[in-house]
Amino acid sequence: MARSNSSLVRGPGTSLWPWLAWAVVILLADQFTKTLILGYYRLGDATTITSFFNIVRAHNTGAAFSFLADAGGWQRWLFTGIGVAATVFIVWQLRAHPGQKLFCFALSSILGGAVGNVVDRLMHGYVVDFLDFHWAGYHFPAFNIADAGITVGAACLILDELLRVRNAR
């Protein structure tokens, strides 16, 4: 993956460590909130916070939107393996491009989220979800801090690519 060395996205004297620290912040926030949910909620419990938001306890044995949730158990190891492979690839990219701020912010956000969900799969066999947004009877699938990190990271990767292409013109 070729990356731009534009001064717009590259800071002087940058290193890998701030990006790994951001991933650890996401991982710790994710695991802390999941520990609270596991400690105070039983599966299916919910607390109404606003007219469009609940805290719930849900378990997801699949991937995003419960993809392959009913596959029989093998998906736990598939998604764990994908998470481990993504971790290795992301750390490699962070080492190669530590000064590209938006790119590395995106990757480290994804890294923290991916590791958070891998920890859940290894410890519990499922991912703990608890953020439940809803509107007019429709509930968006419950998610967690790790999922939010992955989503923000993916959006920032798209933005980074759009800016890189625009700056290349």
Q: Which residue reads 């509107």 in tokens?
A: 135
Scored b (16 or more CB within 10 A) or e, 20-45 reads bebbeebbebbbebbeebbeebeeee
- H-assigned helices in 41-100: 74-96
Residue with tokens 């802390």: 32
Domain spans, the chain = 17-43+51-168
Active site members: 129, 147
Question: In which residue ranges of the chain is pLDDT below 50?
Answer: 1-12
